[in-house]
Structure 1
Amino acid sequence: MASIVASKPKIKLDRLLYTHYQHPNLPAAHKFLIDFGLCVAQQTPSRIAYHGFGENPCIFIAEQSPDGYKHFAGSGWLVTSREELDSAVKAHGATQVQTSDLPGEGCFVQMVDPNGIPLRLYHGVELRSPESQPVKAQMPKPVVLNTWNDKPRKGDFQRFDTGPTKVHKLGHYGMVVDSSLFETTVDWYLGSFSLARTDSLYDEGSGKDVMTFMHLDKGEEFSDHHSPPNHVARSFAHHSSFEADNFDSQLVGHYHLQQQGWTNCWGVGRHLLGSQIFDYWFDASGNILEHYSDGDLVNNKTPYGREVAAPDTMAVWGPNVSVAFLTTRMEDIAKGPAGHPPAPVMVIV
């Protein structure tokens, strides 16, 4: 599989746009997403598209489930040129080019990964101009911090609005994949797209990787530590992760979600790999969505890291990882922390 994929030209990705979920109760899902900090970009009776305060016109799609069960319906990516869509069709077996009806429009092709999870590749999407949007969706004022040795904020007070977190963009999503497909899946993503490994965790007994983080390979240009999918055992979306305006906005949103009665999955804490401050929540359907802030940036000069999977590779500080985070089952919240679990088999982009 790896040698076959490697012989094909890689599709050059510009950015991750959105993830797409199907919900058994769309109105309940919508209520959570508004409390989470997303803004409606487009709405029909069966599908709602959302944006943040950034320039991406769509960062999340919630759709009515066709069968009463929740489903992960894939992701959307922006490519660097129209030629990349043609390459996807000719060399990678993508569908023919189609016109998009999502916010920003443009055109797309669709591919399917080794786990049967669809990806749509877009070109010609019209980006948002955040400064021209309603106040709720405009770019927030940057937070200036005074530290012990540097106090740039003089005579200017810190004041924050209550309510949902201000969400900038979709940063990454994590996929749990069957352990038998882990290496095949990683090879497929790395061989098909302009992605590179950032970090991996491996099982000390077998020596095999159980978690891989990948980032967009833009040469010397910096990109997020992970922005494509990350993978675990069984094939499903583990979580989608959204960048918050800043740590204060993230914490304000944490307490807002708590006050609205939503279920905290894990957090607040700081990850080791990627350094993000994380905060994971269950939505109305039982999917996990994350707010994060202060993540690392990497480029082609950043060394690839590989280390043993251990409890302290999950977080630097914060509560012990919950059983529910590992199983992705909301009902497992009652089981509390997981103690010293192995890392799940996961690919994160």
Structure 2
Amino acid sequence: MSSNTIGAHTGLHSAVGARKGEHPGRSRNPLIKVADVAWLEFDKPDLARAEAFAHAFGFSTALRTDTELHLRGSDPDASCVLIRRGAQTRFRGVAFTADSDADLVRLADKTGARVAALPESIGGLSVQLTDPSGMRVQVVSGTRPLRPLPAQTPLPLNIGSHLDRINVTQRPPRVPTTVQRLGHVVVQTTKYRAALDWYLDTLGMIVSDFLFYPGQRDRGPTMSFIRCDRGTVPTDHHTLALALGPANRYVHSAFQVSDLDALAAGGEYLKDHGYQHSWGIGRHIQGSQIFDYWRDPDGFMVEHFTDGDMFDSTLEPGWAEFTASGLSQWGQPATADFLGTSPRHARGEVRELLTALRSNNEFDIHRLIGLLKVAKS
């Protein structure tokens, strides 16, 4: 092993806290505090193709009509992906769960929105908002829970001298994994600071980790991993991740599975059926998840993950430099497809960069220089 490899991740873990005057990572008086992410919404022209990939990825179908497809995990929550038939493929927005109807009333009163009934197939109430990036954000309560589905049992492991499996072989089947639940969504925004403050002030979310471009910490963070504030109840390291970039767009969403074998064997099934692998398997630094990334037939990136960090509200944000090599602790380096630097993305990325630099937003020439350093670091 070369000396350059030894200690390659020293300093990349977010063990360093904020400096004086840096963003605190939480609001002093948020309007409400959401409890979790509820679902994501997409438009797709081909529901049959979307459902075929969904089943290969590990979802079950909760509802299927000529115009709508609801996908769920095995946990007894509402459907975690809602797909409607549309003329073009697009990401429509995200829904978060409120603790009570009273929170919806308060949110509506303070924002000028209104409380509305959700469709009968979902149940409950909703307040529809728009974040500073223009993304539709719903806050919902009272949705109808689904009955739990059979869970995928983690395999017994022999770890060191602790033996859970004797006279029995280990043969994980190469079948679709079972998605348990929606864990998080990652979006890119040209108005990162405004969007960050909006989620903290409006929905009461709190930052787990900040990332900043190489050499630009004094200019402030450019990515944040944000969790729900449930007090002493641990919650996912990030339910939402925001990244500054040249366009307002969906980046990926992540869905929990039972263990590494379920993730790996499920990936082999996807590979056998011709679906596009993006990056993995590896273990992240921020959030610590074991991950594997895929693209659906419409090009949207989706992640299987397991063994993620769970934080309560007492932890303050960590700060780390944003580098491509710092996206994982082990595994292959981040791919060009994952980073958006592959030839198939190049033309669109250049167009977005030029548009952003001509527009009034937070993505200026200094941020472009920082972003280019990220891809090479």
Distance 1:189 1:342, change over 3 A: farther
Q: Which residue of 1 aligns with 2:43?
A: 22
Aligned to 1:126: 144
Amino acid at match of 1:117: M
Q: CA deviation at 1:46?
A: 1.4
Partner Cα separation in structure 2 for residue 239 and residue 274 of structure 1: 15
Please give the residue correspondences for 1:181-200 in structure 2 after superposition, counting only pairs within 5 Å.
181-200=191-210
Q: Map of 1:69-80 to 2, 5 A cutoff?
A: 69-80=88-99
> Aligned residue for 2:109?
90
Q: Output the TM-score relative to the length of structure 2.
A: 0.80
Q: CA deviation at 1:342?
A: 4.3
Kept after mapping to 2: 8 A contact 1:100/1:108? no
Using the TM superposition, give the Cα deviation of residue 107 of structure 1 relative to its aligned residue in structure 2, in angstroms: 1.7
Amino acid at match of 2:199: Y
1:296 is matched with: 309
Instruction: Give secondary structure in 1 for the equivalent of 2:61.
Output: strand
Unmatched 5+ stretches in structure 2: 1-22, 347-370
Q: With structure 1 as the length reference, what TM-score do the two structures score?
A: 0.86
Aligned residues of 1:172 and 1:228 also touching (Cα < 8 A): yes
1:325 and 2:338 are equivalent in the alignment: yes
Q: 1:94 to 1:8 in 2, by over 3 A?
A: farther
Residue 119 of structure 2 is aligned to residue 100 of structure 1: yes
Q: 2:293 aligns with which of 280, 289, 295?
A: 280
Matches within 5 A, 1:94-243: 94-103=113-122, 105-130=123-148, 137-154=149-166, 158-178=170-190, 181-207=191-217, 208-233=220-245, 234-243=247-256
Which whole-Å CA distance do the structure 1 matches of 2:333 and 2:121 have between them? 39
How big is the shift at 1:94?
2.6
Task: State, as a whole percentage, how many aligned pairs show the same letter.
Answer: 26
> Which digits, 9 at most, give the CA deviation of each residue in 1:40-90, with x for residues without a partner?
00111111001111111211112222x3x3211111221101101101110
Q: Quote the Cα distance in structure 2 between the aligned partners of 1:109 and 1:192.
A: 12
The worse-fitting range, judged by mean Cα deviation, of 12-21 and 167-176 is 12-21
Counterpart CA distance in 2 for 1:39 and 1:200 is 35
Looking at structure 2, the residues matched to 330 and 56 of structure 1 have their Cα atoms a distance apart, in angstroms, of: 39
Number of the residue aligned with 2:322: 309
Paired residue secondary structure (1:139) = coil
Q: Secondary structure at the match of 1:313?
A: helix
In the alignment, residue 58 of structure 2 is paired with which amino acid?
Answer: G
Deviations 1:308-339 (A, max 9, x none): 11233211111221222122879359xxxxxx
- The question of whether the paired residues in 2 share the 8 Å contact of 1:58 and 1:102 is answered with no
Work out the CA distance in 1 between the residues paired with 2:127 and 2:36: 15
Which runs of 5 or more residues in structure 1 are unaligned? Answer: 131-136, 334-339, 345-349
Could you say which structure has the larger radius of gyration?
A: 2
Q: Does the 8 A contact of 1:41 with 1:49 survive in 2?
A: yes
